[in-house]
Structure 1
Amino acid sequence: MTSPTPQQTTRHNDVTGPALVACDLDGTLVRTGHPVTAAVRAAVAKVRAAGHHLVLATGRSLVGALPIATDLGLDDAWMVASNGAVTAHLTGHQYEITAQHVVDAEAAIRLAAWTAPGIRIAAELVGVGYRVNIPFPDGDLNGTQHGIAGLEELWAVPTPRLALNGPSAYRLVPSLRALGVTAIATRADWVDVTAPGISKATALEEVRTVLGVKDYDTVAIGDGENDIEMLRWASRSIAMGHAPGHVQAVADRATGTLDDDGAASALLALLS
């Protein structure tokens, strides 16, 4: 199934009804490896109490996003994971995967292994972890790492996302995109690969439609390369204060940094 192209929204300074508030996780709501701060947790609770739909939109796998949802006290919420390749609805302590977009893993893996021998490759197993050709450092992947005997095992089971890790992995991006897949370098040594045309924005547009939220009542907060399409999609977009200049350039405004609990300030501003 191919996600619809996110529609262009009219920019508004204020939301007029229950809004869809899309929040990136790492670098926005939380510092990687740390718990959510009390300020962010309180701001999320206030936004939800006001009737808005807070949607987690992350590059993390679903298994990595779930603990943050729990930490935030979310018991009925939507999550966009794996840069838009996986969408799930969380109810209580259970979740339902509502959309999953499979990538052409074989072509991308063959290219990466040929071009960058020794590169680490991980194929996501939704809700579980990853199959990996070489173990990734602790903390780099969410969930369990399953070793393989041969590269073909990485594409034996359909996967929504590949993670490539190695020195100068970003140099693979043009060749990967030439295959037609979506490739985003979130770091110089890290590239995420998903199906063509997939982004946080495409997944959020589907969620918006399900929720019945008007396109002008959409808000997005993020800080990274993989947030750019989401920021462009939202009617009201906010970049974290520590985000790179080219990310801040696509947002309507910037908030404080992660150290300042900038996401909490941005969320509370929706209520003023």
Structure 2
Amino acid sequence: MTPTQPQTQPARLGDVAASVLVACDIDGTLVHTGHPATAAVRAAAAEVRAAGHHIVLATGRSLAGALPVALELGLDDAWIVASNGAVTAHLVGDRYQVTEQHTVDAEDAIRVAVAAAPGMRIAAEIVGTGYRVNLPFPDGELNGTQHSVTGLEQLWADPTPRLALHGPSAYRMVWALRALNLTAIATRADWIDITPPGISKATALEKVRTELGIEDHNTVAIGDSENDIEMLNWAATSHAMAHAPAFVIAAADHTTGTIDDDGAASALLSLLN
């Protein structure tokens, strides 16, 4: 920070005196789901890192789904907040260490789901590997290996940080799941992510910020979805993608371009000016 800049103001990434934590959502922000990052996004991420700052991927994806994006962006010494904050990992080179993991009460959630919709597809995350599933999910819907189970009880036999429900009108179950004191977010009409109560991208990012020794006013977030709202509110400076729903845009300080316009790259580069 320059000597004349108030200490309470967010540092610009170009200010060499202060390192900044930049939390970036993945799907709908850095990449189109199922597609690699564009050259513009990769270049912007490289410039931010070259300036000595920290890009932390903060995603609803499982760790298995977030790792390839981190490596693609060259984040060889970085933190990843996965599963909407339920899993935090430190990536060094091509190896990672899970530093924190929270587990969800899977049995209660699954019983509610199958009672409401017996044909619902259910996936219980296996950290770093894939999922246990009651029914196969369509190609591209889950990251990692799908392990089919023969009985529902096998879905909750081992601890899991996140459940995914996939089926027509799945969103209708959100309030019943929240009544169980679970975090339930309908990312699409046919998809719900379920994680432990009180856990979000923001709660995990705050612990990463402390670990890195970053001042709280030197935090930036970029996102596009409902599961990014806590993160956008947590950051000192926040950017919503232009294609985000109105209530997500309202939660952010700034609006950048759409994903088709490489809005995330524009947000990153604007912070270096």
Question: Do the two structures share a fold, i.e. TM-score over 0.5?
Answer: yes
1:87 aligned residue: 88
Alpha-carbon deviation of 1:74? 1.1
Q: Is residue 161–residue 193 contact of structure 1 (8 Å, CA) maintained in 2?
A: yes
Cα distance in 1 for partners of 2:100, 2:126 equals: 14
Alpha-carbon deviation of 1:13? 7.6
Cα distance in 2 for partners of 1:232, 1:271 equals: 22
Cα distance in 2 for partners of 1:59, 1:78 equals: 15
Alpha-carbon deviation of 1:146? 0.6
Q: Secondary structure at the match of 2:217?
A: helix
For residues 90-120 of structure 1, the C-alpha deviation after alignment (integer angstroms, 9 at most, x for no partner) is: 0011000000000000010111111111111
Given the superposition, is the C-alpha separation of residues 11 and 138 from structure 1 closer, same or farther in structure 2, using an over 3 Å criterion?
farther
Alpha-carbon deviation of 1:250? 0.3
For residues 125-156 of structure 1, the C-alpha deviation after alignment (integer angstroms, 9 at most, x for no partner) is: 00110000111100000001011111000000
Q: Is residue 11–residue 217 contact of structure 2 (8 Å, CA) maintained in 1?
A: no
Cα distance in 2 for partners of 1:11, 1:256 equals: 24
Q: Is residue 12–residue 272 contact of structure 2 (8 Å, CA) maintained in 1?
A: no
For residues 165-191 of structure 1, the C-alpha deviation after alignment (integer angstroms, 9 at most, x for no partner) is: 111111111110110111011001100
Does residue 259 of the first structure (1) align with residue 260 of the second (2)? yes
Instruction: Give the alignment of 1:21-100 within 5 angstroms.
Output: 21-100=22-101
Q: Is residue 85–residue 195 contact of structure 1 (8 Å, CA) maintained in 2?
A: yes
1:18 aligned residue: 19
Does residue 125 of the first structure (1) align with residue 126 of the second (2)? yes
For residues 18-42 of structure 1, the C-alpha deviation after alignment (integer angstroms, 9 at most, x for no partner) is: 1110000011011111111111001
Cα distance in 1 for partners of 2:271, 2:130 equals: 35
Given the superposition, is the C-alpha separation of residues 143 and 20 from structure 1 closer, same or farther in structure 2, using an over 3 Å criterion?
same
Q: Secondary structure at the match of 1:219?
A: strand
Given the superposition, is the C-alpha separation of residues 126 and 140 from structure 1 closer, same or farther in structure 2, using an over 3 Å criterion?
same
1:183 aligned residue: 184
Q: Secondary structure at the match of 1:216?
A: coil
2:245 aligned residue: 244
Alpha-carbon deviation of 1:247? 0.5
Cα distance in 2 for partners of 1:213, 1:241 equals: 28
Cα distance in 2 for partners of 1:37, 1:221 equals: 16
2:139 aligned residue: 138
TM-score, length of structure 2 as denominator length: 0.94
Q: Is residue 221–residue 239 contact of structure 1 (8 Å, CA) maintained in 2?
A: yes
2:5 aligned residue: none
Alpha-carbon deviation of 1:86? 0.4
Q: Secondary structure at the match of 1:192?
A: strand
Cα distance in 2 for partners of 1:254, 1:172 equals: 31
- CA RMSD of superposed structures (Å): 1.1
For residues 214-235 of structure 1, the C-alpha deviation after alignment (integer angstroms, 9 at most, x for no partner) is: 1111100000111111001100
Q: Secondary structure at the match of 1:127?
A: coil
Cα distance in 2 for partners of 1:38, 1:193 equals: 33
Q: Structure 1: where are the runs of 5+ without partners? A: 1-9
Number of aligned residues: 263
Q: Structure 2: where are the runs of 5+ without partners? A: 1-7
Residue identity in the other structure for 2:221: A
2:232 aligned residue: 231
Cα distance in 1 for partners of 2:226, 2:117 equals: 23
2:200 aligned residue: 199
2:4 aligned residue: none
Cα distance in 1 for partners of 2:251, 2:224 equals: 11
Cα distance in 1 for partners of 2:178, 2:238 equals: 26
Residue identity in the other structure for 1:83: N
Q: Percent identity?
A: 73
Cα distance in 1 for partners of 2:94, 2:135 equals: 32
1:147 aligned residue: 148
Alpha-carbon deviation of 1:14? 4.2
1:221 aligned residue: 222
